[in-house]
Amino acid sequence: MKIYHGSDIVVKEPKILQSNRLLDFGIGFYTTSNKEQAVRWAKKVGSRNNTGKEFLSVYNFDIEKAKNELRIIEFLVADEKWLDFITANRRGKELLEKYDIVMGPVADDNVYLTVKLFETGVLDKEETLKRLKIEKLFNQILFHTDKALNFCVFDHYEDLGGQR
With beta carbons less than 8 A apart as the criterion, state whether 162 and 47 touch: no
CA 1 to CA 125: how far, in whole Å?
34
User: Is the pLDDT score of 96 beyond 70?
Assistant: no
Digit-coded pLDDT (tens) for 19-66: 666 677 888 999 999 999 899 989 999 998 999 899 999 999 999 999
Provide, rounded to the nearest whole percent, the portion of the chain with pLDDT above 70.
91
CA 114 to CA 83: how far, in whole Å?
11
User: Is the pLDDT score of 164 beyond 60?
Assistant: no
